[in-house]
Amino acid sequence: MKQVALITGASSGIGKELAYVHAERGGDLVLVARRKKELTELKQELKSAFHITAVVIAKDLSAPNAAHEIFSETQSLGINVEYLINNAGFGGYGYFHERSLDDYLDMIHVNIISLMLLTRLYLPGMIERRSGRILNVSSTASFVPGPLQAVYFASKAFVTSFSQAIAEEVKDKGITVTALCPGMVDTEFVELSGMGESNIMKHQKPSSPEKTARIGYHDMMKGKLLSFDNRMLKFSINWLVQLFPRKTILKILRKTMDKKSTHTS
């Protein structure tokens, strides 16, 4: 296999579109997600359209040993992962004290622990070859606290911070690390996280998964530290957020995430 990209969460949304972008460029793939049927169908589509090689690994990244099992399988197949794309992640809407603790633990394991473990497992090989690129899918949510999505926002803050720190450590070793920080994207994430009726969905038009994937992949290839798919959100994060007191930002974010109407009669 050549120019192999390992993509987690590859069965749908941004992960699936990233697989298409990489296959278009002639790169081979390791497709990882829970849903084996969807991964197998994607594998056949990409092989037929682009004549690439793809390997399917069906794993639930909330399981404690999943990352090590993925690494062991690629090692046993003699696969050198040139591009590590940590895309898998999920959120959850509601008051922190009311939601299931098990859901939070699974979220932390998928969004943080498995991402960190996969990076730790594959990075030494990249350093040895002095070649490799890592794309960690984060969110513009990573730059602010998230009332009603407290753990999700905090988990993405880890991803953005971690990615930039590792990027600095390996910048002289032929490796780049990029954090993709999209705004709202039109994927099943919205439905699964329970955000469908929140105010943010009424006022922000989601980006398409294809657009976000292409921007993220392009910026990974350029070796950018941060990648944004929404210029207005990028401007807001870099400039406007810094101008307001922290309590004001929290109040605005709470109203944005709430499912109650923001209009008064």
Mean pLDDT for 220-240 is: 84
Question: Considering the entire predicted model, what is its pTM?
Answer: 0.87
Active site residue 152: yes
Q: How many domains does the chain have?
A: 1
Domain that holds residue 135: 4-257
User: Residue for token digits 């994937």?
Assistant: 213
- Higher pLDDT pick, 110 / 192: 110
- Assess contact for 86 and 115: CB atoms under 8 A: yes
pLDDT digits 0-9 by tens, 77-118: 999 999 999 999 999 999 999 999 999 999 999 999 999 999
Instruction: Confirm whether 264 is domain-assigned.
Output: no
Burial 166-177 (b: 16+ CB within 10 A, else e): bbeebeeeebbb
Q: What's the pLDDT score for residue 133?
A: 98
- Assess contact for 235 and 36: CB atoms under 8 A: no
Instruction: Confirm whether 145 is domain-assigned.
Output: yes
Instruction: Confirm whether 48 is domain-assigned.
Output: yes
Separation between Cα atoms, residue 240 and residue 50, nearest integer Å? 43
Instruction: Confirm whether 202 is domain-assigned.
Output: yes
Q: Which of 93, 122, 152, 217 is catalytic?
A: 152
Using 50, 70 and 90 to split pLDDT, how confident is the model at 262? very low
CATH label of the domain that carries residue 74: 3.40.50.720
